[in-house]
Chains A and B, each alone.
Chain A
Amino acid sequence: MPMPADELEARLREAFPDASIAIEDLAGDGDHYRARIVSTRFVGLSRIRQHQLVYAALKGKMGGELHALALETTPA
C-alpha cells in the first residue's frame, strides 16, 4: 500500500518545521523513497535517535504502508 510523495513530505514537514527536506522516489512506484533531512532537532543525537525521530513522525506507517525509506539525517 504505497504512500504518495506529497503525503510523506507533509508528514515530515509537520514534524520538522525548520528542516530542509528532499524526497526522491527511487523506484517510481510510490513505495521506495529516500529522504534527506537537515534539522536542528537532530543536534546532539546519535544516528539511531535521529532516525527514530523520523520514524516517530511517520506514526507507525514505516514498515507497513511505507516499505522502504532510505534516510539521511543531518543536524543543522
Chain B
Amino acid sequence: MTADAEAPAVNEFITKTVAENDVVLFMKGFPDQPGCGFSAIVVQILDHLGVGFAGVNVLQNDALRQGIKSYSDWPTIPQLYVKGEFIGGCDIVREMFQTGELKTLLSEQGLLT
C-alpha cells in the first residue's frame, strides 16, 4: 500500500494515540535509543521532569512519518502532545523547559507527581 492509501488509518492511529495517552512523543527511534539528536533532547527533558510518556517511533512506518506532519501541520519530528494538544517540536519544548512553562503545564494537568 502506498502512504496515501494508508493515510486514513494512520490518522486514526494518531488520533487514538494522543487521546489515550496523556503525554505522547512522536520521535525518531525509541525513548531509550533515540535515532536523532532532536528527539534525544526532548526525551531528556521529559525524563528530567519525571513525566511518563508514550514514545512512538515514526521511523517504523513511512505513512506514519508523513501522517504526523499533516496531522499537526508541522514539518519536523519530534512532536510532543500533552492531553491531546500539540505542544511543539524540539525548539519550543526546550524553550518552555528553560522558562519553566513546561513544568507548570504538566503540573497543572496533574501529570507530575
Contact = CB atoms under 8 A, between A and B. Distances in A.
Interface of A: 47-48, 51-52, 55, 60, 62-63, 68, 70-72
Listed residue (B38, B74, B96) with the most chain A CB atoms within 10 angstroms of its CB: B74
Given A47-B95, A60-B75, A63-B69, 16 more contacts: A48-B74, A48-B86, A48-B87, A48-B88, A48-B92, A51-B74, A51-B91, A52-B74, A55-B74, A62-B75, A62-B76, A63-B76, A68-B38, A70-B91, A71-B91, A72-B91
A14 B61 CA distance: 36
A70 B75 CA distance: 13
The DSSP consensus for interface residues of chain A is mixed
30 contacts: A47-B88, A47-B92, A47-B95, A47-B96, A48-B74, A48-B86, A48-B87, A48-B88, A48-B92, A51-B74, A51-B88, A51-B89, A51-B91, A51-B92, A52-B73, A52-B74, A55-B74, A55-B75, A60-B75, A62-B75, A62-B76, A63-B69, A63-B75, A63-B76, A68-B38, A70-B90, A70-B91, A71-B91, A72-B91, A72-B95
Contacts of B91: 51, 70-72
A67 to B, nearest CB: 9
Bin the interface of chain B by size: 10 to 19
Contacts of B87: 48
Contacts of A47: 88, 92, 95-96
Contacts of B96: 47
Contacts of B90: 70
A34 to B, nearest CB: 9
B68 to A, nearest CB: 11
B77 to A, nearest CB: 8
Interface string B78-98: 000000001111111001100
